[in-house]
Amino acid sequence: MNIVIIGASGGIGNAFIEQLIMHTDVAQIHATYYHTKPLLNNAKVVWSQLDITNEQSIQQWTSTLGEIDWLINAAGLLHTAEHGPEKTIGQFDVDFFIDNIRINTLASMLLAKHTVRNFKHRRPAIFATLSARVGSIEDNYLGGWISYRASKAALNMCLKTLAIEWRRSLPNVTVAALHPGTTDTPLSKPFQRFVPEGQLHSPEQSVISMLNVLHSLRPNDSGCFRAFDGEQLPW
Ligand SMILES: NC(=O)c1ccc[n+]([C@@H]2O[C@H](COP(=O)([O-])OP(=O)(O)OC[C@H]3O[C@@H](n4cnc5c(N)ncnc54)[C@H](OP(=O)(O)O)[C@@H]3O)[C@@H](O)[C@H]2O)c1
């Protein structure tokens, strides 16, 4: 299998690499980072620097890839050095909202747009993006985090719509939105004190669970929104 991991410098993306290099059926992993190239070196892993907000870079990079069996987009944004997720509407900032949309929503659509050719091989394949339970509109009881929630809700709609199109044009590809569970990474670090005991997963735990989910997916599941434990999440 040829696998693409976007955001492999992140906590969850890196754990995907660590697990997948041990799979004997995985031949090659194309892994991307944005700021700093991770130290992980393995004959199966080819590292590339990629800004997923830049369509031209995505187009150029994907044109160098061959056939893809699985693409997992594990890049994402919740906070920056200047901005945390909003607690109140008073903290709403247009540029921060747009950054969330660019990274959490648009990147997956650009990746889909430029990998159609790489998925045209008729073997069962997967196009998955890390979403988040807080992107569920129905499940939103707490409020707050407007930009992040909205970007993940929009991502879910984009993936669902893509799944419907690809059911006709690329029926071998299963499109999925995955919730990893609260995972101990730089993204969740500032908020971990609010996580009930026992519910903060290591990246390794989250990824092993998500790999079980990914292995269980069939083309009929395309357009699904699943948690790490297989739970079907409400939109
Ligand atoms: N951790 C959790 O509890 C949790 C819960 C629910 C959902 N998620 C979702 O899971 C995914 C992975 O999160 P994580 O916890 O692993 O976060 P993380 O450790 O902060 O990693 C984020 C990744 O996104 C990459 N990235 C950010 N902006 C980018 C850009 N413009 N171009 C390319 N790459 C970019 C980063 O690259 P560099 O580091 O190289 O800049 C890094 O690889 C995210 O979509 C997140 O929303 C996480």
In order, the DSSP letters of the chain are -EEEEETTTSHHHHHHHHHHTT-TT--EEEEEESSS--S---TTEEEEE--TT-HHHHHHHHTT----SEEEE----S--SS-PPPSSGGG--HHHHHHHIIIIIIHHHHHHHTTHHHHTT-S-EEEEEE--GGG-STT--S---HHHHHHHHHHHHHHHHHHHHHHHH-TTEEEEEEE--SB-STTTGGGGGGSPTT--B-HHHHHHHHHHHHHH--GGGTTEEEETTSPBPP-
Q: What is the average per-residue pLDDT within 222-232?
A: 98
| 8 has pLDDT over 90 | yes
Instruction: Find the angle CA(56)-CA(38)-CA(226) to the nearest 5 degrees.
Output: 70
The architecture in CATH of the region 2-227 reads: 3-Layer(aba) Sandwich (3.40)
Instruction: Name the percent of the chain lying above pLDDT 90.
Output: 100
Q: What is the average per-residue pLDDT within 34-42?
A: 94
Q: pTM for the whole thing?
A: 0.98
Which is nearest to 19 in space by CA: 72, 67, 96?
72
| 68 has pLDDT over 90 | yes
What angle do helix axes 203-216 and 11-20 make, rounded to 10 degrees? Answer: 60
- CA 188 to centroid of ligand 1, rounded, Å: 10
Q: What is the average per-residue pLDDT within 199-223?
A: 97
Q: Which of 34, 56, 72 to mutate to test the pocket of ligand 1 (most atoms within 8 A of CB)?
A: 34
Average pLDDT, the chain: 97
Q: What is the average per-residue pLDDT within 142-157?
A: 98
User: Could you state, in order of their start, the residue ranges of all structural domains in the chain?
Assistant: 2-227
Q: Which of 4, 12, 32, 225 to mutate to test the pocket of ligand 1 (most atoms within 8 A of CB)?
A: 12
- CA 168 to centroid of ligand 1, rounded, Å: 31
| 209 has pLDDT over 90 | yes
Q: What is the atom index within ligand 1 of the atom nearest the CA of 53?
A: 31
Q: What is the average per-residue pLDDT within 210-219?
A: 97
Q: What is the average per-residue pLDDT within 155-178?
A: 98
Distance CA 168, CA 179 (A): 26
Residue with tokens 């994907």: 62
pLDDT-based confidence at residue 194 (cuts at 50, 70, 90): confident
Task: Name the token pair of 173.
Answer: 């590809």
